Structures are given as C-alpha cells and as structure tokens.
Amino acid sequence: MTSARRRTRGRLPVVLVLPAVVGLAFLLVPLVGLLVRAPWDTLPEQLFSSSVGEALRLSLVCASLATVVCLVLGVPLAWLLARGDVPGRGVLRALVTVPLVLPPVVGGVALLFVLGRRGLVGQYLDAWFGISLPFTTAGVVLAEAFVAMPFLVISVEGALRAADPRYEEAAATLGASRWLAFRRVTLPSILPGVVAGTVLCWARALGEFGATITFAGNFPGETTTMPLAVYLALETDPDAAIVLSVVLLLVSVGVLAALRDRWISGPS
Amino acid sequence: MTSARRRTRGRLPVVLVLPAVVGLAFLLVPLVGLLVRAPWDTLPEQLFSSSVGEALRLSLVCASLATVVCLVLGVPLAWLLARGDVPGRGVLRALVTVPLVLPPVVGGVALLFVLGRRGLVGQYLDAWFGISLPFTTAGVVLAEAFVAMPFLVISVEGALRAADPRYEEAAATLGASRWLAFRRVTLPSILPGVVAGTVLCWARALGEFGATITFAGNFPGETTTMPLAVYLALETDPDAAIVLSVVLLLVSVGVLAALRDRWISGPS
Amino acid sequence: GADSSGAEVGGAVDGRVTVFAAASLTETFTRLGEDFEAAHPGVEVVFNFGGSSALAQQINQGAPADVFASAAPANMTQVGDAGGISGAAVTFARNRLEIAVPKGNPAGITGLADFGDADAKIALCAEQVPCGAAAKRAFEAAGVTARPDTLEQDVKAVLTKVRLGEVDAALVYRTDVRSTGEVEGIEFPEADRTVNDYPIAPLAKARNAAGARAFIDHVRSDRGRAVLAEAGFDTP
Amino acid sequence: MTLHADLRVGRAGFVLAAEVTVEPGEVVALLGPNGAGKTTALRALAGLLPLSGGHIRVGGQTWDAPPEVFRPAERRPIGVVFQDYLLFAHLSALENVAFGLRARGTGRAAAREEAARWLDRVGLAAHAKAKPRTLSGGQAQRVALARALATSPELLLLDEPLAALDAATRLHVRAELGHHLRDYPGHTLLVTHDPLDAMVLADRLVVLEHGRVVQEGTPTEVARRPRTSYVADLVGLNLYRGTAHGTAVSLDAGGTLTIATPASGPVHVVFPPTAVSLHPEHPTGSPRNAWRVTVAGIERHAHTTRVRLDGVPPVLADITTATVADLRLQPGDELWAAVKATEVHAYPS
Amino acid sequence: MTLHADLRVGRAGFVLAAEVTVEPGEVVALLGPNGAGKTTALRALAGLLPLSGGHIRVGGQTWDAPPEVFRPAERRPIGVVFQDYLLFAHLSALENVAFGLRARGTGRAAAREEAARWLDRVGLAAHAKAKPRTLSGGQAQRVALARALATSPELLLLDEPLAALDAATRLHVRAELGHHLRDYPGHTLLVTHDPLDAMVLADRLVVLEHGRVVQEGTPTEVARRPRTSYVADLVGLNLYRGTAHGTAVSLDAGGTLTIATPASGPVHVVFPPTAVSLHPEHPTGSPRNAWRVTVAGIERHAHTTRVRLDGVPPVLADITTATVADLRLQPGDELWAAVKATEVHAYPS
Ligand SMILES: Nc1ncnc2c1ncn2[C@@H]1O[C@H](COP(=O)(O)OP(=O)(O)OP(=O)(O)O)[C@@H](O)[C@H]1O
Ligand SMILES: Nc1ncnc2c1ncn2[C@@H]1O[C@H](COP(=O)(O)OP(=O)(O)OP(=O)(O)O)[C@@H](O)[C@H]1O
Ligand SMILES: [Mg+2]
Ligand SMILES: [Mg+2]
C-alpha cells in the first residue's frame, strides 16, 4: 500500500493547493448552498410532473441538436481559422468570440433582426419558403447554437493548432484531398479536443436562457426549455425553481462526468 | 503576386469551406444585423453620457478583477486537476463545469444562499467581520468570477496536460520544489494556453448579466455593468440598448483582437 | 400623511435612500428620484431596478434596501410574509393592459377576439408573471380562447416582439405602449379586469427609515402622481 | 518519362538552386551535409513546397513552373517515405497501406486486399492489424515503404529512410529496400547522410552543398574522383557486388575477397580505403586478401593520400603522405594490396 | 560516501534488477543495448521513479528503500544531464545554469555570478544571454552540463549526453566532458551506447542486458575478457592515452604510434582490433605502425578470433579463424603487429 502510493514528487505545495482548494470551494459551495436549500420533499412531485419532464426532454434534445449544428458548422470554421490561408484571421477569430460577450438577450434581438419575420434574411425565408423560425423548436436550437458555438470553435481551433500538420502532408502525398485528409487523418487525431469542445458547447447550450427566450419565445412543449421553466418558476415559486435547477445540474454533471472521464482523462 | 500566393495544398475543399462560411455567417450576420439596425445617430450622445461611461468603466474593471480572481484561484485548480494525484478527478472536473450549465440567475441565487447576509457563510462574514458582499462592486466581481472561472480552469488544464512533464522533472533534479518548478518552469511554458483561457474568461465576465443582477443588484456606479445597463435600456429605450451592446462588443473585439493576435496566432 | 409634499419634511431627511423598484418603473422613478434629491439637498437616492421577484428574493436574503416598489402585490406579499416590511404596503399606481400591434397594424387587429385567430401571431406574458395573469382575466371576461405563440417571461420581451413585427398582436401594459413610439395601442373594454396594482412599502431593515417614508410620500405626492400619470399609470 | 527538375527555392538565409534528372527505373541518391537543402528539394518535388523558380517536369507533364503551374501534392503520382514515417497512429498497418489506394479511388475491399499483398511483400502479413505504436522501428519503416509503394507512384521519394534504425535492423532493412527499389519501375530519389546507403542503393549520386549540386555521377565515378574533400570523406568506400559462398565472395567484376563472417548468395562487400595496405611484395601474415594492383592515380587530401589502383578488383587506398614517399609511389607502379578479412563487410543485396 | 544501489523496478513486461556501486570521484559507464533498462536505472537513482524493491544508499543516507523511505528528486544532491538536455526554453543560458542554485537557496546575484563562472568554464561566457533555441547542439550540451554541475551535486547522472551531437561536435564535446569529469569529486554514472564514449570517459563499465548486469570492470578488463558477444562487439577497441607531436604519439604506457592526421598535446588514440594485422616477420609496405608482440591469449567469438597480444603497447587483434590456423597461433608465439596510420584515430583528451 505505502509502496504503491509513494509519491515520486514531494508534498503538494501549499501555495498551489491552498488557492486550488479555495477555488474549488468557490465553485462548489454555492452548489452545496442550492442543494441544502432545495425543498427536497417536492422533488419527486416536480420531477414527475409532466411539464418538467417535457422541459427536461426539450432541453436535452435542443442542446444536443444545437451541439450537432455547432459541430457541423463549427469544426469546419475552426479548421478554416487554424489552417485556411484566409486574410485577417486575427480579427475573424476575435469576432467569433463575440457571442460570448454579447448579453444573451441582445444576442436574441440580433437573431430576430436577421432571422425574424421582418429580419434581413427572415423576410425572404418567410415570403419564399413560408419558413418562420421564431417561436419554434428550431428557433431554440438556433439560439442555443449561436451562443454555444464560440466554445466549440475556440477549443477545436486550439486542438488543430497543436496537431502536427505533417500528417496532413503525408496524406496529401498519398493522393488525399484536403477534405479526405481532414476527415480521415486530422479529425481522428484531434478527437479529444473536439470532444472537450463539444462538452463545453453542450453545457452552454443546455444552460442557455436569454437568447432562447428572446428569439424563440416560450411555449410549453415547443420552446420551454429547463432554464426558461426555472426562470418562470422563480417568479412564483422560488423553491421550485431551485429544485428544477438542481435537476438540470445533476443531469448535466452525470453526462459530463461520464463523457469527460471516458474521453479526456484517457491520455494523462 | 501569383507566385507568392500559390497554394501548397490544392483548392480549399468545398465540403469544409461551405459549412465554415455558413458557420461564420451564422455568427457574424446577427452582429451585422445589430450594426445595421443600431441608431447610429444616438451613438455619440450615448457614448459620452456619464452613466454609460461609468457602466463601461465598471464593466472593464470588474471583468478584469474577476479575471484576476479566476487566475489566482483557477490556475492552481487547473494544476490540481491536471497534475495533483487527487481521487475522483473525473467527477471534480465535471463539477467544475457546472456553473456553465446553471442558469446564471440561479447561480446568483446560489451565491446569495452562501454569501448573502443570511447565507451559509455570509452570516458569519457579516456577524464577525461586518463584511457584506452582495450589492457591492466586490459582489459583481465575485458573481462574474463564479460564472467565468470554468472557462479558465478548463483551458489551463488542457494546456497543462499538453505540457511536457519532463521539464518539471528536470527542475526537480535541480532541487526545485513543485511550487518553484510550477512557477518558474511550467507556467512560462503554458503561457499561451493561460492567455487563451484568460481571454475566454474575461469575455464571459464582461458579458455576465444574470448572476450579477441577482447577487449584486443593479446600483448605478456600483454594480451596474454594461449588460445591466443594456437590460435597463431595454426597459426604457430599446434602441439605446442596441447601441450600448454594440459599444460593449466593439470594445471587447478590440481587446480580443489585439490580445489574441499577439499571443495566440504567434506560433502558427 | 398621504398628501404631504416632499418639501414639508425636507429638514428631517438626509443620507442615502435605497429604493428597490420594479424594472417597469425605471423611467418614472429615475425622474422622481431626481426631483426628490433636488427637494432634499444632501439626500442621495439609489435605485436597484430589477424583476420584482428577484428584488423580493434579494430583500429576503438581506439586501440593504429602504423602500420596495413592486410591480405585483404577490412579490410584496413574499417580503411581507418574511417580516420584511414595516407597516402596510400601499398601492401607489395601477396599470392596465392594452393591445399592442406593430405600426400600421398589418394584421388588422381590432379587439381581443382576434387573439383566437390561429393565423395571427400572438405574444402574451406567461401566467406566472402579473401581466400574464391579467391577460388571462381579460380573456375570461371576453370569452375568448387565446391562441398565443409564445408566453414571455416579462412584458418587455413581449413588447420587443411587437416592435420588431415578430407578432401581430400582444397584450402589454399601457405604460409600455406609451414608452415607445414604435407600436400602436388599442384599448379594449375588458381592460378594467386587468388592472394591476403597484404596491410600495418601507422595509423593516431600512437603514434610513425617515428617508424611506419621505420618498414614499414623494411618490404619492401630486408631483409624483403627475409623473406616473404621464407615463400611462392610473394613480389612486 | 524522364524527370527533369530545376529546383529553385529561396528561404530566409538559404537558397536552393539544384538541377536533378532521374530516368525511369533509376535510383538517385541525394547526399549532402546538414542543411544542404536535401529535404527542401524533396519537399519541392513532392509538392509540399512550391518552387520560387525553375520547373519540375515529368515526361510531357509540368508539375511546377512558377508563376503559372502548380500541381498540389495530392495530384502528383508520388510516394513519399518520410524520415519519421508519419504513419497514421489511429489506423492499423493495413489501413495505413490501404489509405493511398482508397484516396486514389480504389474500392474498400480491393484496397484492403492490395494492401494485404503489399504487407505480405514486405514481410509484415502477421502485423496487418497492429497499430503503428506497437511496431518496432524497422517494421514501421517497412509499413511506410509499403504505403508509399502501394499506389504504384511514378516518383518515389525517400527522406533518410534508414536514419531512425539501430545498426542491426538497419542491415536488414537496407537489403530489403534494395530489393524493392531494384524491381520498382518508377523514378526514385533517396535522401541520405549515409554513404553506404547511397552506394548500395543508388545508381547515381547527386551531392548537394549549400543548396547547390557540387558533384554527380555513378557511385564509382564519384568515389574515384571526388571533387571536394567532403565528397572524398563521404563516399570513400570500396564497394563491390558479388556472390558469397561461406567466407569467399566472387566479385561480379572479377576477383575474389575473403570475409570473416560467412554469408551466402548475392552480397555487397565493402571496406574503407583506410583498410587497404600497400606492400611492395606479397605480404605475409594475417591479411587474407592480397592481390596485385597497379597505381592508376594519386590524389592528395588534407592529411592522407588517396591512391587509385587498377587490378582485379580495382581498389582505392588511403595512406599517409609519409608512406607515399616511403614507397616512392608513381602512377604505373606495381604493388600488392592487402585487406584483412575482418575489415571486409558483406551485406546481403 | 560510496553509492550503493540495488535497483529493482518492475514494469509491464520488463524487470530491472541491477546492483551498482560508485565510489566518490569514480566515473561508471552504464552500457547496454536498446531497452536494457539504462534510462530506468538512471531515473530510479535520480528519484524520478520509485524503486519497487532494493535500496539506494549514499554514505550513511538512504535515498530509497521501499516501502518506508523515499526521498524525492528535489531533495537529492544530484545533477542530471538528460539525453535531450531539457533546457528551459524561456530562460537564457545563464538563467538555466543559475536555476539549480536559486532553487537550492542561493541569492539572486550570487547565483548569477556562480552561473557565469560555470558558463565561462565550459567556454560559453559569450552565450550567457542566448536562449537555448539559438544554441547549437554542442553548446546546448555544455549548458546542460554546467547546469547539472553548478550545484556541486554528489551524484552526477548523464543519459547519453553525446548522442544528439553530430560527429564533428561530438569529438570536441567528448574531450571537454572528459576534462570536467576528471576534476569532479562526486559520483558519476554515465549512460551510453557508444563504446568509445564509455572507454574514454569511464573508470569502470557496467554492462546491462535485459535489466541485469552481465559484466562489469575497468574498460581494459571488459575489453580484454568480454563475457558475451554483445560485449565483445561493443567494447572491442584498442585505446591508449598518450601525447601527440604531429603524427607521432608517444603512449603513456610505452610505445609510439603513428597517426595520419597531425595533432598535438594529450590525446586518446584508438583503433579497432579488426585493423590490426599480424605478420610472422616485420611487414614491408604501407602500415606505418609495426611492433613486436607476444600472443597472450586467444578467444574465439562467433566468426572471428580475438587475440590478446603483449608488447609495447599491448594490443587486441581480431582475425579470422583461417588466419589462426594459417599462422598456427599459440600463446607465447612471437609476431609482428601492424596497423595503418590511417586506421588510428586520435582524440584530444
Ligand atoms: N521551414 C523553414 N523555414 C525557413 N528555413 C528553413 C525551413 N526549413 C529548413 N530551412 C533552412 O533551409 C536550409 C536547408 O534545410 P533542409 O532541411 O533542406 O536541409 P537538409 O539538407 O535536409 O539537412 P538535414 O540533413 O539536416 O536534414 C537550412 O539552412 C534550414 O535552416
Ligand atoms: N514509462 C514506461 N512504462 C512501461 N514500460 C516502460 C516505460 N519506459 C520504459 N519502459 C520499458 O522498460 C524497458 C527499459 O527501458 P529503458 O528506457 O530503461 O531502456 P534503455 O536501456 O534506456 O534503452 P535505450 O537505449 O533505448 O534508451 C523497455 O522494455 C521499455 O519498453
Ligand atoms: Mg533533411
Ligand atoms: Mg534510454
């Protein structure tokens, strides 16, 4: 026992462990606060109420779909920023992070400006195809994707920069187009980075509130995700809101712990 | 010209460029929408109004202070997660990402539960030291740090995992404690990763709204940051809200473009 | 006294008065605060505008407030139940719903009956928030089954959707219609059933009890009522 | 279908300006000191680095001719073995070899079948499913070679393919590579530091120094008439092909040599000019190899003198200047050359 | 203050079980093929890998003795030169050297001063401010050595310190390293592949194979009586110290050798046993070096025979078995040994 656990390196330094523990406490104690104050007796009732179940299901579905959208659009975008020989990459990269800074409600308004019924693009979608995105589940997915995509793009771009481009060159000398090289050589080699980005992206989409309610509105079963349900519950029954948050939180920690353990702690 | 720009690798693959461009458009067109619809004529007036100046200053100060808090606590935490030999790392790491998922308003409520005047910890802070954090500028910093820290932790942890631990071993053979090795060897070598995480963290803190207004309230000059000002403007003058958002956005893009260009596009 | 003007008690008040007020009062209370400060040199009024429920939550968690002005009696009750208010809350303003339509009224909305039209895009407040509860009462009175496309979390979100033409009609407060020139208001007979009371009260833990009382008096003074009325409130 | 390349590439502080011609079926070795521009030349040929001047033409086709033409790597019929192999870590050996076939449009099943044949050919049929990480250096090298050859490229480019191998594996792999190259009908360019690799594997040597070609010719020509002392040091080897029967090797060009370690079948035999001693009479004692030679030429280098000797076989000897004086060496003199059997190394060819 | 180590480390599919003793001032070379466990042993001594059994004791102190005692690397008075140096890229050469001093508590100014002295001692005073990236391989190696020595460690561990150098720099750096090690009072363990490094630098050799010590002794002992044919191949070198005057080297142990490339001052001279030819009479012709020797012993290896010869100097010769028969070699026979001057290499020592 002792021998198996003997440390190669000396004691953990207090000067690092202390702030680390404080930091951990800072992040976790508020959650403990929530858990302590949550009216647990109402949990089963809440959990099995159909509206909560519906909101939870909708949240998971929309966050997952938004993540898929982010993957489909964001991974190529990350590739373009990391490898494509485009001018003004620095500014582009900074612009990509903008949805991070924009208050989500304003992000929702911006989406309405563009994709709303009278929006720059939306008016034609409506007039030509009869497609209207606001107030639909598709709108929720779009709003979540808009807010969450920067995380994916920045993570994947980082992984791409760290990947050795010589493998892509090797693939090229074997006759592989850039697309094939990307798909069969680069992507598998940066998979852990993509998974990490996906996790951040999914978590952000799951928690998204402001842009969603602004762009997609709030209609039970169609656009009411958990954060919206939490917000409305806060208006009338703060305790219920806390229980809902805790439910959302447990589900996401479960998913993240499973995923991250599997994918990310592998190499270390 | 042609010769200087000839591409080593064939055409950019449509199958990557197309979604990348769509993704870029998806992120940028809403911003264009904002810029187009913003009532530019009121911009100078807004920009030089004292309350906006104050909010902008407060935002920058608080986001920067929150980032400092995140660095001081988050870098050691990332180190503990990446290098420390602690049990249950996978779950800890998932828990660290929780503030991402939690609706920010609920995050603010959780902070009130813990640090409020009647909170788990706050009641003692108040009774013993007379310190009250909610509704102060310090509270804004705390709320922003709570929400933004996961970004820093996850980025820095990734950089630490990618760093070659043999340099730490070399430092140990020279008599350096783990702390000295971390400070003088590891930290300088992962600086770009830390800077990237800092940028994400700062951007998130700058845009933070829900936890801030809940935990710190909305007192002009004290806790009213730009996103809160945007919220209030939405109540009274929606056009002004857009102008304010655009201001926030331009300031942050300016800062990010400068930083990221300097620090991150260096090696590529 | 309810009718005393701010100037009469000016000598007794000083220091800082912290007012927690519903976001929908942002414009009027900001103006009233300026008046109050002008009338009481040396007094500083500090506002914390936010959602009424969030404010109630903050007050119950020990926030340093002297006055609470809520957009709904329910939130005032939450504070009162926790023993947070000193004395009784009084209603200082009332608001009522109006139909809001985008400029030009493209869908030709005329009354509540059009809210049952499946083709029209309709936005309402969620029932959990006061404007939603009021809307529900209106539809019950009119015997209309509304077919909303969205149930917004606050009235400003509803208003945004009307302004941008995302919806053809919505029910919002009259004050909201007044606040922007970009929507048109249509009054409807059942609006009497939708009146919403704005209660105000000094708080038990107030650090500046005198200032709190003086500010409430100022709000309820003639000058205060004029400002509120100008914004579209009914003043009792 | 000759490959003509006039490679001009400018880099910070370095200019490559080298002409290289490779005939079909020919193996050309590109030799040169560190930083001479060998890898740069190879990358330009592969299409991984565009020329800034000159051209690359293969048969009637132009691959690169700035500023107009540039054919990217994936559209050149090439095979490259990189110095560190660059095998795809997440694919098995078989999938690595099949990659190029798939990329060039072969169906999945056909590609796997063909890849399996190639793995078999390089003796790795048993490792088809192994991931590159679990292969030894020598095995990885063979997978890389199979991967490069599987697409039947017109131009095969090898960048120090043996550098990462330790001495024992190197011997085997060199012989195997020799086999494959002999059967391979395309153009081959082999970059190497090691004169032995170059002389065993190549039909022609091109020596680069500072980005310029300083000498080219067959290994024998270059070894016999080195133009710079770098080249003299580099390629100063006596190298013959022959057939071994135990410790005796009958050379293809005539003559017999005795080796210490028995071998059989076709071999390369090699010994350095420094191992050759010259005697006025038939030497007595341990040297197993002694034969009559005639001085054909004498060249002075820094501190030694290289003597070209005709005989069966002809041979190069490096001796000290003092010895030259001592023996009063003159072209046309008749002498005995002696080499110890333990100094003669035979490599399967 | 002797270092006694009984190193037992178990790894997946590999077990190290080796005893090593190093006296103060002694340089022990750890030799062995790839994967023999050399680096593993060095890491265990450095405290970067805990033992699973055995112990490490230096003088009265125990550094590792599972399961109780384990002293981490930073509390062992060691200096390590890693194979790839691991210089800190963001620190200048001077700061790299000062790092260990600072870590062990020396003040900033004093540490920099001492570091500057060390840089001067390894001839790099002019490069004190250079970042490691801008140093050549040889310079980087010297900075790494200075960094390891600056803290006056009791135990100096060197993992293939010359492996990354090209042939020309290697020569210089080996000589310099030799100087430093001769003056260094602590224990030194040198891991290397290269027999020449080992024989030039070490007082004693320890040969590891498959995690076990297969032979140990002074270089001469090991070279003269190799126990396995790996050892025979590895250390089969004739190595002498002497003083060069132009092309003549007077050996410290007696005798004189002629070399091709003039040198001056103290040198190591080395030539392989295969370069030695044996003659019944004084040989005529090119070999510059010929002297009388007596057969002291004959050992057969795979295909060659190693003959130990007494004389001035004594010498090893590898000859073919046929030659043994031919010359009817017997211990006690008197012969002439001959070596061409071009085969004798002299290295500054
Ligand atoms: N990416 C690069 N950018 C700028 N200069 C480079 C680059 N790669 C190589 N060089 C320079 O070009 C010159 C030739 O390099 P190259 O790699 O072709 O040499 P080499 O002959 O292959 O050497 P080696 O035997 O060490 O592999 C060197 O001076 C080198 O510093
Ligand atoms: N981190 C590790 N985990 C498991 N096994 C290892 C590890 N490192 C080395 N080994 C194994 O331990 C054995 C000895 O390795 P070691 O690095 O000590 O050899 P070495 O003698 O230094 O070889 P080389 O000359 O190649 O450096 C090898 O079989 C190797 O595969
Ligand atoms: Mg090269
Ligand atoms: Mg090793």
Q: D78 and A180: CB-CB below 8 Å?
A: no
Q: E304 and D342: CB-CB below 8 Å?
A: yes
Q: Which residue of B has its CA nearest to D51?
A: B3
Q: Is the pLDDT of residue D83 over 60?
A: yes
CA B200 to ligand 3 centroid distance, Å: 40
Distance, CA of E212 to CA of B18 (rounded, Å): 61
Backbone angles phi, psi at A184, to 5 degrees: -100, -20
Helix or strand (DSSP H, E) at C68: strand C67-69
What are the helix (H) ranges across chain A?
2-5, 14-37, 43-48, 50-82, 89-96, 98-101, 104-115, 122-124, 137-162, 166-173, 178-181, 187-189, 191-207, 210-216, 226-236, 238-263
Same domain, D175 and D277: no
Distance, CA of D135 to CA of C158 (rounded, Å): 66
Residues 6+ apart with CB under 8 A from D95: D88, D115
Most ligand 1 atoms within 8 A of CB, residue of D15, D34, D39, D162 to mutate: D39
pLDDT, position C8: 43
Q: Is the pLDDT of residue B196 over 80?
A: no
The residue from D183, D212, D234 where one domain ends is D234
Residue C85 has what DSSP assignment? Answer: B
**What mean pLDDT, rounded, does chain D reach?**
86
pLDDT, position A2: 39
Q: Is the pLDDT of residue D232 over 90?
A: no
CA D159 to ligand 3 centroid distance, Å: 7
Residues of D (258-317) whose Cβ lies below 8 Å from A? none
What mean pLDDT comes out for the span B111-117? 85
Those residues of chain C that have pLDDT short of 70 are 1-12
Amino acid at D209: E
Same domain, E207 and E281: no
For the record, the structure tokens of D226 come out as 């080195």
What mean pLDDT comes out for the span B180-190? 87
Size of interface D-E (CB pairs under 8 A): 120
**Domains defined along chain B, listed by start:** 63-226 (1.10.3720.10)
Burial level of A200, CB count in 10 A (0-12/13-18/19+)? buried
CB A92 within 8 A of CB A81: yes
Backbone angles phi, psi at C74, to 5 degrees: -60, -45
Same domain, D220 and D201: yes
For the record, the structure tokens of B246 come out as 């655009």
Do B and A make contact via 3 or more CB pairs under 8 A? The reply is yes
Q: A3 and E52: CB-CB below 8 Å?
A: yes
CA E154 to ligand 4 centroid distance, Å: 22
Burial level of E246, CB count in 10 A (0-12/13-18/19+)? exposed
Residues of E (7-66) whose Cβ lies below 8 Å from A? 47-50, 52, 66
How far, in Å, are A33, B74, B148, B149 from residue B114 at the CA level? 6, 20, 18, 18
pLDDT, position E243: 93
For the record, the structure tokens of A45 come out as 């009732």
For chain D, the domain total comes to 2
E294 - beta bridge partners? E310, E334
Say which of C24, C61, C179 has its CB closest to residue B118.
C61
**From chain A, which residues contact D within 8 Å (Cβ)?**
166-167, 169-178, 180-181, 184-185, 188-189
Most ligand 2 atoms within 8 A of CB, residue of E7, E38, E192, E197 to mutate: E38
Q: Which residue of D has its CA nearest to E193?
A: D166
Say how many Å lie between the first and final Cα of chain A, rounded: 22
Same domain, E281 and E160: no
Distance, CA of E55 to CA of E77 (rounded, Å): 17
Same domain, D211 and D244: no
**What ligand is nearest to the CA atom of residue D34?**
1
Q: Give how far E79 is from chain A: nearest CA, Å.
A: 16
Q: Detail the DSSP E strand segments found in chain E.
A: 3-11, 14-22, 27-31, 53-58, 61-65, 69-70, 78-81, 155-159, 187-192, 204-209, 212-217, 238-251, 256-271, 277-279, 289-300, 304-311, 315-320, 334-339, 345-348
pLDDT, position D42: 93
Q: What is the CA radius of gyration of chain B?
A: 22
Q: A166 and D86: CB-CB below 8 Å?
A: yes
Same domain, E199 and E306: no
Q: C58 and B219: CB-CB below 8 Å?
A: no
> Shortest CA distance to E222 belongs to which of E205, E198, E244?
E205
Q: Is the pLDDT of residue B204 over 70?
A: yes
Q: Give how far E340 is from chain D: nearest CA, Å.
A: 7
Amino acid at B170: A
Residue B29, SS3 per DSSP:
helix
Chain B residues inside the 8 Å CB shell of C61: 112-113, 116-119, 134
CA quadruple B160, B162, B165, B168: dihedral positive or negative?
Answer: negative
E5 - beta bridge partners? E20, E56
Chain B residues inside the 8 Å CB shell of D48: 8
Interface test with E, best of D277, D286, D305 (most E CBs within 10 A): D286
Same domain, D251 and D229: no
Same domain, E342 and E330: yes
Same domain, E41 and E71: yes
CB E77 within 8 A of CB E155: yes
Q: What is the pLDDT of residues E107-118, one digit of tens each?
A: 999 999 999 999
Distance, CA of C233 to CA of C211 (rounded, Å): 24
The residue from E182, E209, E234 where one domain ends is E234
Lowest mean pLDDT among A135-139, B54-58, B82-86, E289-293: B82-86
Query: Is omega for the bond preceding D67 within 30 degrees of 0, making it cis?
Result: yes
For the record, the structure tokens of C49 come out as 């505008």
Distance, CA of A29 to CA of D265 (rounded, Å): 78
**What ligand is nearest to the CA atom of residue D38?**
1
pTM of the model: 0.76
Do A and C make contact via 3 or more CB pairs under 8 A? The reply is yes
CATH, residue E269: 2.40.50.100
Same domain, E92 and E9: yes
Q: Which domain holds residue D96?
A: 3-234
Q: Give how far B56 is from chain C: nearest CA, Å.
A: 18
Q: Is the pLDDT of residue E196 over 80?
A: no
Lowest mean pLDDT among B18-32, B33-47, C173-187, D250-264: B33-47
Residues 6+ apart with CB under 8 A from A68: none
Q: Which residues line ligand 1 (CB under 6 A)?
A: D 11-12, 14, 32, 34-40
For the record, the structure tokens of E66 come out as 């599972």
Q: What is the pLDDT of residues D24-54, one digit of tens each?
A: 999 999 988 777 888 889 999 999 999 999 9
What mean pLDDT comes out for the span E295-300? 84
> Shortest CA distance to B179 belongs to which of E220, A15, C55, D260?
A15
CATH, residue E50: 3.40.50.300
For the record, the structure tokens of A146 come out as 């808009």
Q: What is the pLDDT of residues D117-159, one digit of tens each?
A: 999 988 888 889 988 877 766 778 889 989 998 998 999 999 8
Lowest mean pLDDT among A101-110, B2-11, E289-298: B2-11
Q: What is the pLDDT of residues C140-189, one digit of tens each?
A: 988 889 888 888 888 888 888 888 888 899 999 988 888 877 889 998 88
Q: How many other CB atoms are found less than 10 A from the CB of residue A103?
A: 29
Same domain, D197 and D115: yes
- Residue E322 Cα to chain centre, angstroms: 34
pLDDT, position E169: 62
Q: Is the pLDDT of residue B11 over 70?
A: no
The residue from D193, D213, D234 where one domain ends is D234
Query: Is omega for the bond preceding E67 within 30 degrees of 0, making it cis?
Result: yes
Same domain, E26 and E137: yes
Residue E7, SS3 per DSSP:
strand
Query: Is omega for the bond preceding E348 within 30 degrees of 0, making it cis?
Result: no
Position B174 confidence tier, pLDDT thresholds 50, 70, 90: very high
CA D175 to ligand 4 centroid distance, Å: 28
Q: Is the pLDDT of residue B17 over 80?
A: yes
